[in-house]
């Protein structure tokens, strides 16, 4: 992904977005990731399923790293940030 391809708004604070705008923004980010850097749909869903059963997930955010898990889980180079990685 190059700077020119980057379409996710970096100038907005989450508090300025309503929840549907936040979801749309996350979806836009996911759609902007080059497929070479993205995990398969199966791996993405596997990771999110693990997050859903994790005590560190709060309102879509991983409280270990502060990331939105739906964004973090998409990247091939990303991993669960817990001391004992779950994915
Ligand atoms: S990324 Fe890891 S620690 Fe964070 S919510 Fe998911 S499983 Fe839990």
Reported as a single tens digit per residue, the pLDDT across 22-43 is 888 899 999 999 999 999 999 9
pTM for the model stands at 0.83
Instruction: In whole angstroms, give the CA distance from residue 63 to residue 44.
Output: 19
Question: How many Cα neighbours within 13 Å face the side chain of 18?
Answer: 1
- The mean pLDDT value for 69-82 works out to 96
Is 51 close to ligand 1, i.e. is its CB under 6 Å away?
yes
| Closest C-alpha to ligand 1, atom 2 | 80
Q: How far is the CA of 67 from the centre of ligand 1 (A)?
A: 9
Average pLDDT for 52-67: 94
In contact, 78 and 69? CB cutoff 8 Å: no
**Which atom number of ligand 1 is nearest to the Cα of residue 73?**
1
Q: 62: Cβ below 6 Å to ligand 1?
A: yes
């Amino acid at each position: 992904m190059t700077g020119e391809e980057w379409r996710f708004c970096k100038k907005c604070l989450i508090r300025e977005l309503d929840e549907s705008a936040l979801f749309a923004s996350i979806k836009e980010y996911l759609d902007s990731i080059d497929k070479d850097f993205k995990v398969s749909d199966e791996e993405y869903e596997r990771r999110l399923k693990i997050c859903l059963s994790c005590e560190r997930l709060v309102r879509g955010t991983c409280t270990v790293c502060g990331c939105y898990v739906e964004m973090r889980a998409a990247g091939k180079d990303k991993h669960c940030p817990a001391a004992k990685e779950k994915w």
